[in-house]
Amino acid sequence: MKFLPTSDAERAAMLSSIGARSIDDLFAAVPAAVRRGPDLPPPMSEIEIRRFVGGMASKNANARDTAFFLGAGVYNHYVSSIADQMLYRAEWLTSYTPYQPEVSQGTLQNIFEFQTHICLLTGLEVANASLYEGASALVEALLMAERLSRGKTRAVLSAGIHPEYRETVWTYFSNLGLEIVEVGLGKDGATDANALAAAVDERTFAVAVQSPNFYGIVEDWNSGSAAAKAKGALSVAVVAEAASLALLAPPGEGGADIACGEAQSLGVPMHNGGPLLGFLSCRTEHQRQIPGRLAGQTKDAEGRRAFCLTLSTREQHIRREKATSNICTNQGLMALASNIHMSLLGKEGLREVALQSHAKAQYLKGEIAKVPGYRIPYTGPTFNEFLVEAPEDAAALLARLAAQGILGGVALSRFDVKDRRRFLVAVTEMNERAEMDRLVAALAGRPA
Amino acid sequence: MSVEIEEKTAPARDPRRPEPRPLPLVFERSGEGKVGYSLPPLDVPGAVAIPAALCRKEIAGGTEISEVDVARHFTRLSKLNFSIDQGLYALGSCTMKHNPRTNEEMARLPGFAASHPLAPDALSQGSLELAWRLERILAELTGLPRVTLQPSAGAQGELAGILMVRKALEKTGKPRTTVLIPDSAHGTNPASAHFAGYTVKELKSNAHGTIDLDVLERAMTEDVAALMLTVPNTLGIFEGQILDIAKIVHARGGYLYCDGANFNAFVGVAKPGLMGVDVMHMNLHKTFSTPHGGGGPGSGPVAVCEALVPYLPRPTVERRADGTFFLDYERPDSIGRLRTFLGNFGMFVRALSYIAAYGNRIGEVARVAVLNANYIRAGLSDVYHLKYDGPSMHEVVFSDKKQTEFGVSNVDIAKRLMDYGFHPPTMSFPLIVHGALMIEPTETEGKPVLDAFIKAMRDIARECEENAELVRTAPHTTPVKRVDEVGAARNLVLRWRP
């Protein structure tokens, strides 16, 4: 076997050093009743693996071969060749969590830089080394707020938060004696500010609002923060489309205490929904309750700048059941991809991506609104994604478009939403005007 | 550009080698007007249609840097890391094995890397088929009927598993209050049980480092929802009485949870389902070779027994009679979701490619992993103390007991090992071994490498006796000298500031 470097002769020599007759002897502690080999096909060669796995890949539609407008939490943004090729370097790909700083300065400095980028984008002071993805990042943010509240039991969530994020919160909260209150949206598609303020009481530990929200509407962080502050709760800002952070007011400026969400848009391919890149940032005063790993700057024995993981006493391997989170492995390599991307695009490039995404989405939204029978139900400002109401069942419509090579959007019926005629359309800097025009023509039933 | 270089009086240096200096941060390489990207010109009108109050002005402190600088920066940084491609990574419990590159190529096929999780099922048949096939294979390897691939890593798999147990118990009565966890367990076990709403009761290991059946019998009351057991345990010892353990747990209506972090010790050789395990998470980034990437991404599928199937996270991937695949969201008893979408799909592609390469011979993985660990044990047990001397499976846990006599600790030994070109073992874990040195070579190390590792460890043991100071001040050859971790926690600097 090509991944096993030991020859039969070497195995025999090793067994003799050990004093065992066979490898089977080494398994003596495993009861015979439980020993059973698997019923699997014979080994495949590299060529056969490429055929087998490649065959499955070719059955999927992908963003390179289609006019592509899917979003709803995962976005098709530009990723530079270097951001991906750098990940192939064995020193990045095949290293472990940097528990031994003397032989892990690359990974540690990368984390430190990633943390800095996230702080700059979110307008907060401390960021962690990454979390799994957006939904569990929201859970971690809420649990952090709950710990800081010392005994409060209610979380108020905007219904504009991604439905799969909210479902994840329900899963985690169901056994912890915590209450979740969801607040609906107003006519403009933004969270109803009055209802939000009314839902927050003295028992509330956090108020969470997403912007742009699930329906694409840009929310004002200040309304969530004001509602939270009025009752002594923490304000949690959720970002599912992190490219927006380069154009929209950062959560920290809008009074958010914790920002969290999904940074896939910043240098990570869509990967069919994973691996993604969760992030979390907060104010300095709350840093000791932050979940997950943190890289900090320090010195080596000769006084040179060096980095290491720090505040480990918050974490499960030290604190066990009293840890701030059970998270261990996170998204290290994706944080590297994102650090490379954010560094490369920098302050100007990130902004240009956001501006182009927004401008193209505005164009498409305007064109779709002109197609008879189609309506843009929400009036609030949008960043790069918007809701469309079709004159027919959206899933059926989108299936028809798909047959023409257009992935025209995500039907809300995917998310248990009752209204079957609505769908979300996302646009990024990757979309050309010509493909947007094709989508519009297809919706209008005209030849493109 | 402002590069912060600490000027300190250092000991006399080799004059032929210039003073090594820390690499600048990417922010310190930044210079106004430099550009590292190119985008096509905007082909639509460009006005911002969002009120100015909701927008920011600029990303103060953001970088301005060329692609050349970025290439150099990240290449130089990478060279400060040790990696599995460079040599043996002895980290016990972490299963640092070779990461086949075919798997990377497969995961990057546009049909996977550029596909979207919310594309219509009809256009995602390839991904659904891949997930379905991986589930079937993991079910076969564990001997359990169904598997969820959703959890993002082992710890989330643990939580998913315990939440399913909780839901099942709720359905038939009360969720119970307590989860039993041996004192040798990974820290994630108690943390996960806690986040599932349980009180953790620690089970004291016996003199052999394994479960004491009498202790278990007494602790296993009607309040106990589950026993979380690592198999083999973190000492690398297989619980030979696993069938009796399962019997005791089941007799009181509890569930047996298997932490599958150590599945590499018996994958393809034995089946947890036959051991009486009811629920088990696996780490695709350990047993199934998906790269650790400096700390993730991982993937933590969970296999379950028939009784827990209704509670699997939703959606599940199902196959219709006509051979097409679909996502089933109609699972009323599901514990819900643990994250967005299907899970870390890219890791599924890699794991499936890896398993395909072994097929029905995957048991070779475990057999050689166990052979290698025992070879290291045989080569070192006269110089390093072995607190628990039960038979080793895929890893062996020594301690620094003999070396502390010379004033050298496990940390010093670990740091000195870096000078010999090896990554240190896992240290100070499991907690029941003071000064632990936990070594897991994995199956992808050959005899010459193992011999070199054994020799290095023996040389260090001799150095401890003859020149303890040399070991105490190690490492001497790494990019930085011993790092002040206490200082980092005392004076927190967690980001660069403009």
- Please tell me whether residues B411 and B343 are part of one structural domain: no
- Please tell me whether residues B334 and B372 are part of one structural domain: no
Give contacts of A73 with chain B, Cβ < 8 Å.
118, 340-341
pLDDT digits (tens, 9 = 90+) for A119-160: 999 999 999 999 999 999 999 999 999 999 999 999 999 999
Q: Same CATH fold, A82-340 and A67-79+346-443?
A: no
Which band of pLDDT confidence, cut at 50, 70 and 90, is reported for residue A349? very high
N-term to C-term CA, chain A? 54
The ipTM of this complex is 0.98
State which of B330, B361, B392 marks the end of a domain: B361
Gap between the Cα atoms of B327 and A292, Å rounded: 31
Task: Judge whether B349 lies within some domain.
Answer: yes
Per residue of chain B (498 residues), give pLDDT as tens. Answer: 344 444 444 456 677 877 666 789 999 999 999 999 999 999 999 999 999 999 999 999 999 999 999 999 999 999 999 999 999 999 999 999 999 999 999 999 999 999 999 999 999 999 999 999 999 999 999 999 999 999 999 999 999 999 999 999 999 889 999 999 999 999 999 999 999 999 999 999 999 999 999 999 999 999 999 999 999 999 999 999 999 999 999 999 999 999 999 999 999 999 999 999 999 999 999 999 999 999 999 999 999 999 999 999 999 999 999 999 999 999 999 999 999 999 999 999 999 999 999 999 999 999 999 999 999 999 999 999 999 999 999 999 999 999 999 999 999 999 999 999 999 999 988 999 999 999 999 999 999 999 999 999 999 999 999 999 999 999 999 999 999 999 999 999 999 998
Mutate to test the interface with A, among B59, B330, B375, B389 (most CBs of A within 10 A): B59
| Mean pLDDT value across residues A304-331 | 90
Q: What is the pLDDT of residue B3?
A: 44
- Please tell me whether residues B294 and B339 are part of one structural domain: yes
- Please tell me whether residues B411 and B270 are part of one structural domain: no
| Residue in B48, B70, B424 closest to A340 by CB | B70
Q: What is the pLDDT of residue A418?
A: 76
For A262, the closest chain B residue by CA position comes to B340
- Please tell me whether residues B174 and B319 are part of one structural domain: yes
Tell me if A262 sits within 8 A of A275, measured CB to CB. Answer: no
- Please tell me whether residues B246 and B193 are part of one structural domain: yes
- Please tell me whether residues B351 and B379 are part of one structural domain: no
Q: Is the pTM of this model over 0.80?
A: yes
Contact B364/A4, CB-based, under 8 Å?
yes
Contact B292/A97, CB-based, under 8 Å?
yes
| Residue in B60, B340, B498 closest to A164 by CB | B340
For B11, the closest chain A residue by CA position comes to A302
Task: Report the CATH number at residue B170.
Answer: 3.40.640.10
| Residue in A64, A91, A429 closest to B110 by CB | A64
- Please tell me whether residues B388 and B447 are part of one structural domain: yes
Mutate to test the interface with A, among B32, B35, B118, B228 (most CBs of A within 10 A): B118
CA A386 and chain centroid, separation? 19
Task: Report the CATH number at residue B405.
Answer: 3.90.1150.10
The residue type of B245 is I
Domain boundaries, chain A: 67-79+346-443, 82-340
Q: What is the pLDDT of residue B13?
A: 67
The alpha carbon of residue B90 is apart from the nearest alpha carbon of chain A, in Å, by 11
- Please tell me whether residues B324 and B353 are part of one structural domain: yes
The architecture of the domain spanning A82-340 is 3-Layer(aba) Sandwich (3.40)
**What are the Cα distances from residue B304, in Å, to B144, B280, B309?**
6, 7, 6
pLDDT digits (tens, 9 = 90+) for A378-418: 999 999 999 999 999 999 999 999 999 999 999 999 996 67
Task: Judge whether B291 lies within some domain.
Answer: yes
pLDDT digits (tens, 9 = 90+) for A196-215: 999 999 999 999 999 999 99
Task: Judge whether B483 lies within some domain.
Answer: no
**What are the Cα distances from residue A280, in Å, to A106, A122, A139, B259?**
22, 9, 11, 28
State which of B346, B361, B376 marks the end of a domain: B361
Please indicate if any CB of chain B lies within 8 Å of the CB of A253: yes
Tell me if B160 sits within 8 A of B337, measured CB to CB. Answer: no
Contact A89/B61, CB-based, under 8 Å?
no
For B421, the closest chain A residue by CA position comes to A103
Tokens of B355: 């398993």
Please indicate if any CB of chain B lies within 8 Å of the CB of A51: no
Task: Judge whether B280 lies within some domain.
Answer: yes
- Please tell me whether residues B324 and B411 are part of one structural domain: no
Give contacts of A58 with chain B, Cβ < 8 Å.
111, 126
So what CATH class is A67-79+346-443?
alpha beta
- Please tell me whether residues B59 and B157 are part of one structural domain: no
Gap between the Cα atoms of B151 and B299, Å rounded: 6
Give contacts of A116 with chain B, Cβ < 8 Å.
25, 27, 61, 495-496
Task: Judge whether B490 lies within some domain.
Answer: no
Contact B64/A348, CB-based, under 8 Å?
yes
Contact B294/A336, CB-based, under 8 Å?
yes
Gap between the Cα atoms of B136 and B315, Å rounded: 16
Please indicate if any CB of chain B lies within 8 Å of the CB of A372: no
Task: Judge whether B9 lies within some domain.
Answer: yes
Gap between the Cα atoms of B360 and A5, Å rounded: 19
Helices and strands (H, E) in chain A, number of each type? 13, 14
Q: What is the pLDDT of residue B21?
A: 67
Task: Judge whether B92 lies within some domain.
Answer: no
State which of B319, B334, B361 marks the end of a domain: B361
Q: How many domains does chain B have?
A: 3
The alpha carbon of residue A46 is apart from the nearest alpha carbon of chain B, in Å, by 7
Which residue, chain included where needed, has tokens 């289609």? A66
- Please tell me whether residues B194 and B318 are part of one structural domain: yes
Please indicate if any CB of chain B lies within 8 Å of the CB of A417: no
Which range marks the domain in which residue B209 is found?
115-361
Closest CA to A146 of A178, A175, A124: A178
Percentage of residues of chain A with pLDDT beyond 70? 99
Task: Judge whether B101 lies within some domain.
Answer: no
Q: What is the pLDDT of residue B6?
A: 45
pLDDT at A89 over 90: yes
